[in-house]
Chain A
């Protein structure tokens, strides 16, 4: 996977994760272009689209769009499954997640993503294991804050 973007229906970026080295300028341009393209698509259209030399896989959950860019040879279904699994993880962690949870706890959303994907590849497919790792890391953090 090359990158993942989360953005709202208004086109506001909520989370971005880049697995390829790009300059800030390029990143901004890509996310602007993509957000526009995807927001212009109708609800019943296909979740996959070819964009430049990449394949874009996106899915809308309530007011949030989850969008991943994968390479030409990658599998679209597994990418869709990754998106869904990530949403499930967020949901489990925050308890019926909504956009505001991600806005106000955006670092947590990143931590969960980092436990789930690494360098653009799925590192842990078990939901239980991801959440366990996050819980323990949070616990560690709280212990430090207590001291």
Chain B
């Protein structure tokens, strides 16, 4: 022993330990990377040694380096080695490293299953503890499936230390392997009343997490939690329980009443003045949902919070305001918000403010004139990223609300005229997106323009060429629309035709600028339109009236299409999208192969075939390689011009304009929305007055009733506000026979969805299945000491004698001389019979020959089909028809083709293989019945005609039925 200590300390002397490493890193501040790379080299050497102490030390250092951001995934296998050490000191380090470095894609995790299982069942509770802790960090679906049973056993461990860890880790297991929830739930529920407070709080934690996601499945636990809430003194547990009730109360309104008293008691006893502002705002947003009026009165306070230094508080307040907006206070709140936009610090907050304003308005604004003016005002914002958002709102409103188009067009024309203010500074280019909308609106609804000629001129200014390509494209296209409108106006007037020709000349002069554009879209549209205008000018010179025809180019109205429209188009009957239109040519590879071999056989010396290049053979690697080569070539080729954004930037700089004075832009736009607020107020007053008049009239007519009404007419109620004008709102287009479905938005990847399992319908007891196994000795030696063992799943367990561990095998009670067979029976308990199951097992035995005996092992799989859960049960026809009439059974059907056997053979097969009995048979039609071990009824109606057998089946458990039908299908496909 003494020698060992000496040896150990000598080892240590030469190695750096963790402290040395940390100190070293701190001393090498200048060349940290270099120092660490030498350390990593040392560690690699250490990992190659056999001494586990050295290895553990190396792994410990790696864990530290991993935290600093260095890649240590190459050492994953060494980590597993250290994990498997029998010494707790090293095991602990190994598991720590694993929990820090492993994630789901680490492939060595597969190797750890057995080690973890061993550690979980270790007699030392701390071994079990580190295994559970580590597992909680890197559990994968495979690990969860394989270890769920072991962890469930640990939930009833004698030591509370293990119990609480096991309970907590079950939550991770449920997330990875949802099937484990149902069998584990009764035990989990039991732990809510565990004598140890730690275990109890762990169980509360897990159930609260589960219930928060799928509250309705946990309603039945409410009384239990209520008891806990009134009895527990642990604040940690109380907070969780109250959160849980928060999720349950909306589902069960009666709970709310019951909760008031204990909750007020709690609030009185727990008084915390910590970070009140934030939580106050948070609480208000909760209250807002149920009692909006009581929050409305604090509106000024909340508006004040928008001035808070702290962004978190400002964002919370903004959220709250968003929820508070009603038709009545919309204008006021938005006006305040607009003021904040001006003085807001930080672009993120300002952008948030902007999106919120647009959000608020887009959902609730009923005065579209005012909304448009707000949008125009928002374009003043410098450096915002949300130009496209504003643009899309402008387009949306202008397209949907016909009544305001004239106004919108006028506003947009002003915007276009002042476009230089938006584009002058390259820093502000986010906002120039609105010009896209402005140009489109002016073009599309150009009939509303007062001075189309001026707008046309504004759209063709040379500065436009500095805008991004997609906007220029819209400019060009809409200039053409405007041109049409202008022509119509000019030709209608009695003025001389030279005016119209001058307009054409304007286009012909200005368009070439766009024809030179580097953007293809702009170039194409511009040259197209240029040619068109040139042609028009020719006609004009011959005094031909062209306006009508030019306008016809842009006739027709564009309607918005709902984003989901495409998805909702039903597939026409008889159209199968998965079927080939033309049969694909048979696999080129095999054909090629075939041709080659054929060629060889016929023309023995045909070399030319082999020299032919074979394009089909280029594989991924080759392609990647070629791509690399090409890239390298391009990089070295000075004549190859890459599509880099830098060239565009340079151009933009060269024409950048001096910064426009902000005061000017303010004067230009500021009063707009205020003006509408005022108008709106006036209108409201008028409305009120009108109503009052009406009411007075009524009062005179119906004395008493009127008086009572006037009593409550004081505060203006929601209904008192009528829309400013009857808007004709164009709804989004949907295909005619759209399928109604609202669940397109749900995220199918949410892991919690899989945990939505109805726990109250849990089978209360296990069901037994007897498996009889026939052992036949086919060798010439004597076989003895057979031991039968199966790896239990959560659902199916081999019944072992009392006192045997969960992994012990069962001894087969006989020996087998050569050539002899015998049968042994094993009992399994099964919980869920809906799904077929496969269990892995091993049979160990001793083969005895004359001179020696060897220990052998045989792996096997036990397949529990759903059929095996059915019991042949006779049923009388009247009971059978009653069963079918009851309507509790759900149906499913199956068609088998090409069955050429007599009908009675067919029935016999179903009876024999699938445990059914015939209830009644008439000609080529028969009804059959069977019952599962859990009492599910299963009814079949079997018909046959022309070698086709159709089976209509009904059962109260559709999952089970589907699986049984699949098995029946399999039986017939095998004959």
Interface residues in chain A, defined as those with a beta carbon under 8 Å from any beta carbon in chain B: 13-19, 21-24, 28, 42, 44-50, 73, 75-78, 80-81, 103-104, 106-107, 110-111, 114-115, 118-119, 121-126, 129, 133, 136-137, 140-141, 144-145, 147
Contacts and interface: CB of A to CB of B under 8 A. Distances in A.
B92 A137 contact: yes
B361 to A, nearest CB: 23
A70 B171 CA distance: 16
Contacts of B161: 133
Contact of A23 (B87, B103, B278): B103
A137 B103 contact: no
B252 to A, nearest CB: 19
Interface residues of B, number: 66
Nearest to B171: A119
B168 A145 contact: no
Interface in B700-730: none
B239 A125 contact: no
9 contacts: A13-B68, A23-B103, A24-B73, A45-B312, A46-B310, A48-B278, A78-B240, A115-B133, A144-B87
Contacts of A17: 100, 137
Nearest to A18: B137
B239 A75 contact: yes
Interface string B58-74: 00100110011101010
A104 B205 contact: no
Contacts of B71: 24
Contacts of A75: 239, 243
A42 B136 contact: no
Contact of B198 (A77, A111, A124, A141): A124
Interface string B209-222: 10010000000000
Contact of A133 (B129, B235, B277): B129
B103 A22 contact: yes
Given A48-B312, A122-B201, A133-B161, 18 more contacts: A18-B137, A24-B103, A45-B309, A45-B311, A76-B279, A77-B279, A107-B93, A107-B96, A114-B99, A118-B133, A122-B236, A123-B165, A124-B198, A125-B197, A125-B237, A126-B197, A133-B129, A140-B126
B14 interface: no
B275 interface: yes
B957 to A, nearest CB: 34
B133 A126 contact: no
A136 B217 CA distance: 40
Contacts of A114: 96, 99, 130, 133
Nearest to B72: A24
A124 B163 CA distance: 11
Contact of A125 (B206, B212, B234, B278): B234
Contacts of A133: 126, 129, 161
Contacts of A73: 212, 243
B272 A78 contact: no
B168 A119 contact: yes
A106 B18 CA distance: 9
Contact of A145 (B89, B126, B239): B89
Given A24-B73, A118-B133, A137-B92, A78 B236 contact: yes
B797 interface: no
B92 A111 contact: yes
Interface in B190-238: 197-198, 201-202, 205-206, 209, 212, 234-237
B374 interface: no
Interface in B257-300: 272, 274-275, 277-279
A120 B928 CA distance: 54
A123 B275 contact: no
B132 interface: yes
Interface in B105-131: 105, 124, 126, 129-130
Contacts of B130: 114
B103 A21 contact: yes
B239 to A, nearest CB: 5
B826 to A, nearest CB: 36
B88 A111 contact: no
B915 interface: no
A121 B206 CA distance: 8
Interface string B300-328: 00000000011111010000000000000
B82 interface: no
B530 interface: no
A121 B309 contact: no
B312 A50 contact: yes
A141 B278 contact: no
Contacts of A126: 197-198
Nearest to A55: B312
- Rank and list the top 4 A-B pairs by shortest CB-CB distance, nearest first: A119-B136, A45-B310, A114-B133, A141-B89
B136 A15 contact: no
Interface string B80-96: 00000001110011001
B169 interface: yes
Given A77-B239, A125-B234, A107 B18 contact: yes
Nearest to B86: A144
Contacts of B182: none
B201 A104 contact: no
B966 interface: no
B525 interface: no
